[in-house]
């Protein structure tokens, strides 16, 4: 099933119809999505800035990640849920929107970067001046700021 066919099917679903009929649903869900995304990006930025040597230099990176990661995952799950509901409210427009598709692609890249960090770069955290964690932090920060920017542009282009 193509994205276009899925979007058409979803737009005719009871969920999509309910989200569009109940006028306050979309702004409420959008607000919750922004709050969740703020927690996701904020918690990730804390770690990225540490990896770049710009914040909390005396704190152990592994300890920082251990304390922040549960918040990040919980907020990400909530952002994902609210994002899916936002998509369900207008799937045809979203599935044809450049910024929405770019945001999804960047989310995949951010996931790949996170996976690479945990599989490879994480090993070098204790090595002074190691480049791999810094590159991963820079890539992560760049990806997430771009994800937020593209997410904001979606609203201006629908």
How confident is the model at residue 60, as a pLDDT? 85
Residue linked to tokens 């904001």: 152
Are 103 and 150 contacting, i.e. CB atoms less than 8 angstroms apart?
A: yes
Residue percentage of the chain with pLDDT more than 70: 100
Low-confidence ranges of the chain (pLDDT < 70): none
How confident is the model at residue 113, as a pLDDT? 97
Residue ranges of alpha helices (H) inside the chain are: 3-11, 14-21, 25-51, 61-89, 91-95, 98-119, 131-157
How confident is the model at residue 14, as a pLDDT? 95
Q: Name the pTM for this structure.
A: 0.91
13: helix, strand or coil: coil
């Amino acid at each position: 099933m193509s994205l276009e066919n899925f979007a058409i099917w979803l737009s005719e679903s009871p969920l999509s119809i309910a989200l569009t009929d109940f006028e306050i649903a979309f702004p409420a869900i959008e607000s919750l999505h922004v709050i969740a995304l703020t927690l996701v990006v904020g918690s990730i930025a804390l770690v990225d800035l540490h990896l770049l040597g710009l914040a909390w230099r005396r704190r152990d990176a592994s300890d920082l990640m251990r304390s922040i990661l549960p918040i990040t995952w919980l907020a990400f799950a909530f952002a994902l849920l609210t994002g899916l509901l936002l998509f369900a409210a207008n799937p045809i427009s979203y599935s044809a929107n450049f910024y929405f598709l770019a945001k999804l692609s960047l989310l995949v890249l951010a996931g790949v970067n996170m996976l690479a960090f945990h599989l490879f770069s994480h090993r070098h955290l204790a090595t002074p001046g190691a480049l791999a964690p810094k590159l991963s932090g820079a890539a992560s920060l760049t990806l997430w700021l771009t994800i937020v920017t593209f997410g904001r542009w979606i609203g201006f282009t629908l």
